[in-house]
Amino acid sequence: MEPYTIRRVIMFGIDVFRIKWSTWFILFIVPIIFYCIWIRSRFVRLVNALPGPKQFPLLGNLLELSVDYDEFLRILTSDWVRKYGSIYRAWFTVHPVIFIASPELLEPILGSHSLISKPKEYQLLKAFIGNSLALITGDRWKNRRRLLTPAFHVQHVNSFVNIFNEKSVDTARQMEHALDVRDELDVFPIVTQCALDILCESSIGRKTRSQEEKDLYFQNLHKVQMVFMERLVKPWLGIDWLFQLTNLGCLNKHYVAAARSFTDAVIRDRREWLKMEMEKYRDQGAPQETQDDIVNHEEHLYQSRERPALLDILLKASEDGEMISEDDIKDEVNLFMVAGHETTAITLSMCLYLIAKHPEQQKLVMQELRQVFDDSTRPCSVHDLGQLSYLECCLKETLRLYTPVPFIMRYLTEDVQTGDYNLPKGATVALILYSMHRNPLFYPDPECFKPERFLPENSIARHQYAFIPFSAGPRNCIGQKFAILKLKVCLANWMRRFHFSVKDPSAPLFVPSVEVTLKPKHGVHLVIKKRSAKR
């Protein structure tokens, strides 16, 4: 070999060696140095000052949490609360989450007007609910919340009682038909449909879509939530670009598009209806009609009882040039459809289940219903609903035992002192409502269904944050009043028509499974008998 060539080979070898070392340095040494500095940082020291399971470098507690969802939730909501107490931390690789299950400890967070940010975990739902109220923060959230709040004012919500009556009676008819074939029924799907129909009519639009479209919507919604849980349990799937490359990422795109197409169609229905109404009006009024008359009529349509509150407000805001785009409207509608129907469907199903399991409490509810309605199946009025205080206790006890939203999360934008701990800015906290609602300190014999806990005389001494199924503070559930009214109407209408029981009363209370909201894992199977002598 020529000396020149030998020299070049040697130089190349040295270059490769050099490149290799610099690459090694960048790939391994620099991250290790960063890691060593970070592990000694104030943030990590404060997080690790909290009790919690021993973590492995880089992996954190991932090995213990690489289990199926039910197990994952059992560990977080039960095992670790019992082992480490009402506040503990767990590491998801290098991302810590601080879990809190005590009213005193979560009050400084939920009660604060500045701690309203949501952590990155919620962004996993962004493809589905985009920049909707539940995901945005800061001034954008404040403005949007201000815009939507009037749709949930008491008078407005009260005006939906007729729809609640009509839809729940339709559902009662469906139950009756189903009973011609069998006496035991899984009420969860039928109640879920009722909840969605109510939401479509009262908040979003007059029409619900066809049965096939609704079924498809439910299926896709379920799949979107399963993907969300999968990404939560497997943090590497939380990296968007990586997720998009996976098969699950492709499937998710399809599920999201299919679920969103249902709500797009609902909005389209609404717009078409409005256009038709305006055309009808123009055809009737025609030549002497002034622009003012047309605007007044438009106003009338927006305010009419036939027009749904929420979508009206959004459409009107977009027409008035407020900061809400067509995509924002779609995102908002998607959020309300899912937040409004799933939570109420689970509460209704579980309340029926608990009442079916507890004949004594069912008798007490029936006594109260007879006092208010005699034996009639007439529609409920707002006044009637105010008198159903024992039914309300049953509802609250259901929300305690089967809290539909078991976790809520916040991102700390500032340090927070709670109890003996200083929680650092930048941390993610998960408030475990499900565990807090089963704390024997506030609820002796917590697994038992005891609606009397919520009688006023038994609630006075309880911490105001010990029962918060609708969350609390500035970012609480905007649909709370709507939900309570809807739940009461449905239950009052169904219970006056049917007696509910379970086939095997000695069977243990079933295990719920969790997606974003709590779900009955194997449905809610009840024995239903028609009550006699209705007027």
Which residues here bind ligand HEM, judged by CB under 6 A?
133-134, 145, 203, 335-336, 339-340, 343-344, 347, 404-405, 408, 469-471, 475, 477-479, 482-483
Q: By C-beta, is 238 or 479 nearer to ligand HEM?
A: 479
Is-contact 161 485, C-beta < 8 A? yes
Q: By C-beta, is 400 or 496 nearer to ligand HEM?
A: 400
Q: Cβ 517 to ligand HEM, closest distance in Å?
A: 8
Q: Cβ 475 to ligand HEM, closest distance in Å?
A: 5
Distance CA 439, CA 256 (A): 37
Q: Cβ 323 to ligand HEM, closest distance in Å?
A: 17
Q: By C-beta, is 377 or 471 nearer to ligand HEM?
A: 471
Q: Cβ 340 to ligand HEM, closest distance in Å?
A: 3
Estimate the crossing angle of helix 211-233 against helix 187-199, to 10 degrees. 100
Using CA atoms, how far residue 527 sits from 173, 176, 353, 390, in Å, is 16, 12, 10, 23
Q: By C-beta, is 423 or 478 nearer to ligand HEM?
A: 478
- How many Cβ atoms from other residues are within 10 Å of residue 178's Cβ? 16
Exposure string (b/e) for 120-158, b if CB count within 10 Å is 16 or more?
ebbebbebbbbbbbbbbeeeebeebeebbeebbeeebbe
Is-contact 101 435, C-beta < 8 A? yes
Is-contact 523 188, C-beta < 8 A? yes
Exposure string (b/e) for 285-295, b if CB count within 10 Å is 16 or more?
eeeeeeeeeee
Q: By C-beta, is 156 or 499 nearer to ligand HEM?
A: 156
Q: How far apart are the first and last CA of the chain?
A: 109
Distance CA 447, CA 453 (A): 13
Distance CA 441, CA 463 (A): 11
Q: Cβ 95 to ligand HEM, closest distance in Å?
A: 18
Task: Check the annotation: does 477 bind a ligand.
Answer: yes
- How many Cβ atoms from other residues are within 10 Å of residue 416's Cβ? 20
Q: Cβ 198 to ligand HEM, closest distance in Å?
A: 9
Using CA atoms, how far residue 338 sits from 121, 204, 312, 335, 474, in Å, is 18, 12, 18, 5, 21
**Nearest 10 degrees: Cα torsion 432, 335, 398, 371:** 150
Estimate the crossing angle of helix 326-357 against helix 389-401, to 10 degrees. 100
Q: By C-beta, is 393 or 408 nearer to ligand HEM?
A: 408
Q: Cβ 315 to ligand HEM, closest distance in Å?
A: 17
Q: By C-beta, is 354 or 477 nearer to ligand HEM?
A: 477
- How many Cβ atoms from other residues are within 10 Å of residue 61's Cβ? 21
Distance CA 108, CA 211 (A): 46
DSSP reduced 3-state for 120: helix
Q: By C-beta, is 134 or 416 nearer to ligand HEM?
A: 134
Q: By C-beta, is 416 or 478 nearer to ligand HEM?
A: 478
Distance CA 487, CA 351 (A): 10
DSSP reduced 3-state for 510: coil
Q: Cβ 409 to ligand HEM, closest distance in Å?
A: 6
Q: Cβ 352 to ligand HEM, closest distance in Å?
A: 14
For 178, residues 6+ apart whose C-beta sits below 8 A from its C-beta are: 185, 190
Q: By C-beta, is 196 or 408 nearer to ligand HEM?
A: 408
Q: Cβ 471 to ligand HEM, closest distance in Å?
A: 4
By beta carbon distance, the residue nearest ligand HEM is 479
Per the annotation, binding residues are 477
What residues are designated binding site for heme? 477
